[in-house]
Amino acid sequence: MNLSELKSLLACHPGRHFRLSLPDDSAVPVSFHVTEVGRVHKNFLDCGGTLRETTICQLQVWVGEDYDHRIETGKMAGILEKGKSLLSDESVPVEIEYEDRVISQYTIEGHELTDDAVILRLAHKHTECLAPELCGLQMPDPRLPAVGGKSPCCGPSGCC
């Protein structure tokens, strides 16, 4: 989900609770705070030698000891509005940073609406080889099933 889609979702459903659902279907405790709205820009060299860059809107959430705290969609929209000077390009993807034993970053896979809440469904963020042809990896064929418990993207050595 990109920033403009999130802002639109919040604006279309005012007065509802704002919730986060983790990939294992558990929920971030409802008393979470949004402690950062960030523009994270990354310049990097991939394993094939190509210079790349990415930019995301990162929302850091934190659970404090004030268990009565709640965020509603209007409050969340206001938090994003405060970060507008950092995030003039609303086409950037939004990711959530959350600590539950370790700090993890999640993409937003989708959302659910209930009578009283907007719930963002979070997904694990994954690494990948950006130059598989140079690393000796075959591109996965989605029509083929995994063989022997290994993904068909594994290189000739089966090193996956």
DSSP string, 15-57: T-EEEEE-TTS-B--TTEEEEEEEEEEEEEE-TTS-EEEEEEE
Helix H or strand E segment including 74: helix 73-82
pLDDT at 133 over 90: no
Task: Report the mean per-residue pLDDT for the chain.
Answer: 90
Looking at this protein, which amino acid is placed at residue 28?
V
Residues with Cβ < 8 Å from 99, sequence gap 6 or more? 62
Q: How many CA atoms lie within 13 A of 141 on its CB side?
A: 6
List 97's β-bridge partners, or say none. 60, 105
How far CA 111 is from CA of 1, 43, 59, 93, 98, in Å, comes to 9, 30, 16, 14, 18
Q: What percent of the chain clears pLDDT 90, i.e. is strictly above it?
A: 79
pLDDT at 68 over 90: yes
What ranges do the domains of the chain cover?
A: 3-124, 129-160
Mean pLDDT of 16-37: 98
- Quickly tell me which residue has 């963020």 as its tokens: 125
pLDDT in tens, 141-155: 666 665 544 444 444
Length of the chain measured in residues: 160
pLDDT in tens, 102-120: 999 999 999 999 999 999 9
Mean pLDDT of 1-20: 98
Mean pLDDT of 96-102: 95
Residues with Cβ < 8 Å from 119, sequence gap 6 or more? 19, 20, 21, 111, 112, 113
Q: Read off the pLDDT band of 138 (50, 70, 90).
A: confident
